[in-house]
Structure 1
Amino acid sequence: MKRIWKLAVGAFVVAASLQAAHAQKKYGPGVTDTEIKLGQTMPYSGPASAYGSQGKATLAYFKMVNAKGGINGRKINLLSMDDGYSPPKTIEQTRKLVEQEEVLAVMNSLGTPTNSAIHKYLNQKKVPHLLVSTGASKWNDPKNFPWTTPFYPPYVEEGIIYGKHVVANHPNAKIAIVSQNDDSGRDYVKGFKIGLGAKVSQVVKEVTYEVTDATVDSQVIDLKGTGADTLFTMATPKFGAQVIRKVADLGWKPNHYIVSVSSSQGGVLEPAGLQNAVGLITAMALKLAGDPTWENDQGMKDFLKFMKEWFPDGNPVDSSVVLGYTTAQMIELILTRAGDNLTRENILKVATNIQKQTFPLLLPGVTVNVAPDNYATFTTFRTARFDGKRWGIFGDPIDASAK
């Protein structure tokens, strides 16, 4: 009888252990014991196709992660869909990801107009819409859109840096502004004017362009005609390259500030002609390959090794590639911390509780901070000037929080 009791107790303990182990695993859509299915949209075609390298870098990173066993034993299946930077296409592809592919989350979709098109849909569906690759201020709205978080320096805060730099270094400037006619352009210009303060009265002309325009040559000609000696350019890569090239063609030599989304050496400056980009000033949060400063930096060595082994067709000096690599590491961090609780609710909880997090390619002094009541991922920048061969960091880290 005693033996039977011991066997019964043993069976009960085993059953309880199995039940507890099972209970610890909580899965949302797209998750099994061997896979985590994620989705995103990227402009692999269309007017913003230069940004597509970001998605390719992210895919390559998870190919590497999967080859090493995945995350907590699960392979990452990232479905990266081409939306051509077209909001209607973004809606179509995102619905497919959610309703047909049943992904756990949509992560790192790119573009302000494109993400705007799916903003309400994903929040109504309570699908994590995380690490959107756009710095528009609208993404930091945990009260009204709790399922959406950004992973890009906020445009308003970045714009403030340029305005402050103009005031400090060119107090008598005659200022011209060219920007994309959308939320991202308006946010950047808003921040720039905040940074200018009382000097905003020195803006002599503002022009905009549409993402569907063929060129911005006429806008640049118009601005040069004002006699402005300082130019603030908010543009996506295709148009950023056009502005830089046209300014040079006209023999115009303004103090030229260009936003980080259009500062890629590989994606913008090389197409524009490196000689035409000398003297440009931008703001950065990420290290860039080719800068001798990071020659012996372990994070940079690991990145270049990754590029050689997993993304040999990519350009390591393309800032979109660097951002894609770092974003993939952020996704990896979130999924790792989530453990076996891979529900949509827990993924959101983990993603919005990250403090003082560093990554190998973030510049010194730049950290990632996300709280349940404040989704602004990072607001610390370093200023950089292009010397014809590389971007050179100068000055101390700047906390540009609009608050």
Structure 2
Amino acid sequence: MSLFRSTAAVVLTLGLAFATPSLAQKKYDTGASDTEIKIGQTIPLSGPASAYGSIGKVQAAYIHMINEQGGLNGRKINLIQYDDAYNPPKTVEQVRKLVESDEVLTTFQLIGTPPNAAVQKYLNEKKVPQLLAGTGATRFTDPKHFPWTIAFNPNYQSEGHIYAKYILANYPNAKIGILFQNDDLGKDYVKGLRDGLGAKAGSMIVSQASYELSDPTVDSQMVTLKASGADLFYDITTPKFGAQAIKKAAELGWKPVHILDINATPVSQTLVPAGLDNAKGIISVNYGKDPLDPQWANDEGMKRYKAFMAKWAPAEDANSGIATYGYSTAELLVHILQQCGDDLTRANIMKQATNIHGYVADLALPGMTTATEPDDWRINKQFQMMRFDGQRWVLFGPILTDEVRTN
């Protein structure tokens, strides 16, 4: 469980960008003009994944800051947000409204695998970008079949490959029990682990249990997994169910090696409700700086992030991975729109999103850069392992790059 400049630095950077006018003729599609760039988004402000609602709040604050600083080439970004409650039918209704009534230029950061899956075909048929989709399911990095979709999150299979490497190197005789969300998110993580384990997958994986988003708890699944004799727990959940799984493992006295997917790693949304002591020792990965990690206290990117949060999003938890995610995605959106210049067409948005070179986000870990190519649309494909020490996540090991393209 998927980057800022100080105010002065932002103004300087944007000013430099604006000082270089494009010689090309202005080009606009629906949703863009000399004064406005209209962008649409659905977020779960309610429902089972409401913890992710703060992502949209931070993104809106970032856009507000950009607009207050003059916008992009004099254009204000009009971010239209609707609550879809992480409910796919609701997402369909809201996205149709964004496209057909609000007439947005592009969607941005629709949150969640099931919601994105529900509108992927529609957006591609309408040739409206599904830009920086908030999911890492493989189907959202498939330009051959869905040329108007590009995901922000690391591919879930890529993350699974990294965990498999870690397990084979450190726990080659592990008996693995898997809890997974029964949708594209969970199935991709399972496939990534199985592919990474290779021939050993059949003997190492001793139990699998799935859950539905509508399930009240995962207690019964946890009882089943413990009874299987598994001594390594591969926990593929979102914050609500991740917290339940961690808490239930503690209640059962089950203490396996615990690997948690990145989606469920936010401390305040998952680990605090689960009990920080219960979460101690859990292993995951990250691709960004943690505001709670003291090693970034004097980091310029972190300073810019914290200054932004204090001024523009003071009601949100600046120490949350959800807030850093919201900041990072909004920062990249602005970068892509800057690259578009005065060619604000839907086709050019996709062209620029798939031609990012040497981009270093404010909260990227040292040594990590963002790059996309016309034949490799993975925005984030680098990771570093981390372990929860009872208070914060602690990074360890080298930067790891997944070289296996899933499409």
Category of TM-score, reference length = shorter chain: over 0.9
Corresponding position of 2:311: 309
SS at match of 1:346: helix
Q: 1:152 to 1:23 in 2, by over 3 A?
A: closer
Tell me the alpha carbon deviations over residues 190-211 of structure 1, each in whole angstroms, 9 at most, x when there is no partner.
Answer: 1111222233112111000001
Corresponding position of 1:277: 279
TM-score, normalised relative to structure 2? 0.92
Q: How many residues align?
A: 384
1:223 matches 2:222: no
Q: In structure 2, what residue type is equivalent to 1:149?
A: I
2:257 to 245, 255, 265: 255
1:340 matches 2:342: yes
Could you tell me which runs of 5 or more consecutive residues in structure 1 were left unpaired when the two chains were aligned: 1-19
Cα contact 2:160–2:189 (8 A) shared by 1? yes
Whole-Å separation in 1 of the counterparts to 2:398 and 2:65:
35
Which range moves more in the overlay, 287-296 or 193-202? Answer: 193-202
Q: CA deviation at 1:22?
A: 10
Whole-Å separation in 2 of the counterparts to 1:401 and 1:240:
28
SS at match of 2:179: strand
Corresponding position of 1:8: none
Tell me the alpha carbon deviations over residues 135-177 of structure 1, each in whole angstroms, 9 at most, x when there is no partner.
Answer: 0111111122111001011000101111111111112211100
SS at match of 1:286: coil
Tell me the alpha carbon deviations over residues 98-144 of structure 1, each in whole angstroms, 9 at most, x when there is no partner.
Answer: 00000000011111111111111111111111100100111111122
Whole-Å separation in 2 of the counterparts to 1:332 and 1:22:
21
Corresponding position of 1:391: 393
Could you tell me which runs of 5 or more consecutive residues in structure 2 were left unpaired when the two chains were aligned: 1-20
Q: 1:27 to 1:231 in 2, by over 3 A?
A: same
Corresponding position of 1:379: 381
Tell me the alpha carbon deviations over residues 55-112 of structure 1, each in whole angstroms, 9 at most, x when there is no partner.
Answer: 1110011111111111111111101111111111000000000000000000111111
Whole-Å separation in 1 of the counterparts to 2:24 and 2:220:
64
Which range moves more in the overlay, 192-201 or 270-279? Answer: 192-201
Cα contact 1:338–1:346 (8 A) shared by 2? yes
Structure of greater Rg: 1
Tell me the alpha carbon deviations over residues 10-49 of structure 1, each in whole angstroms, 9 at most, x when there is no partner.
Answer: xxxxxxxxxx999711111111222111001111111111
Corresponding position of 1:49: 50
Whole-Å separation in 2 of the counterparts to 1:113 and 1:365:
32
Corresponding position of 1:66: 67
Q: CA deviation at 1:321?
A: 1.2
1:119 matches 2:120: yes
Whole-Å separation in 2 of the counterparts to 1:346 and 1:335:
9
Corresponding position of 1:16: none
Whole-Å separation in 2 of the counterparts to 1:48 and 1:95:
21
SS at match of 1:266: helix
Q: In structure 2, what residue type is equivalent to 1:49?
A: S
SS at match of 2:326: helix
CA RMSD of aligned residues (A): 1.4
Corresponding position of 2:131: 130
Corresponding position of 2:267: 265
Whole-Å separation in 2 of the counterparts to 1:128 and 1:145:
10
Stretches of 4+ aligned residues off by more than 4 angstroms: 20-23
Which range moves more in the overlay, 193-202 or 115-124? Answer: 193-202
Cα contact 1:315–1:321 (8 A) shared by 2? yes
Q: In structure 1, what residue type is equivalent to 2:57?
A: K
Corresponding position of 1:4: none
Whole-Å separation in 1 of the counterparts to 2:295 and 2:361:
17
Corresponding position of 1:329: 331
Which range moves more in the overlay, 191-200 or 390-399? Answer: 191-200
SS at match of 2:82: strand
Map 1:77-226 onto structure 2 (within 5 A). Answer: 77-200=78-201, 201-226=203-228
Tell me the alpha carbon deviations over residues 200-256 of structure 1, each in whole angstroms, 9 at most, x when there is no partner.
Answer: 112111000001100001100111112211100000111011101111111111100
Cα contact 1:264–1:317 (8 A) shared by 2? no
Tell me the alpha carbon deviations over residues 256-305 of structure 1, each in whole angstroms, 9 at most, x when there is no partner.
Answer: 00000011112111111111110000011111101011111011111111
Q: CA deviation at 1:317?
A: 2.2
Whole-Å separation in 1 of the counterparts to 2:144 and 2:178:
33
SS at match of 2:357: strand
SS at match of 1:65: helix
Whole-Å separation in 1 of the counterparts to 2:168 and 2:347:
45
Corresponding position of 2:13: none
Cα contact 1:41–1:80 (8 A) shared by 2? yes
Q: In structure 1, what residue type is equivalent to 2:189?
A: Y
Q: In structure 1, what residue type is equivalent to 2:70?
A: G
Corresponding position of 1:357: 359
Corresponding position of 1:320: 322
TM-score, normalised relative to structure 1? 0.93
Whole-Å separation in 1 of the counterparts to 2:227 and 2:118:
37
Q: 1:347 to 1:21 in 2, by over 3 A?
A: closer
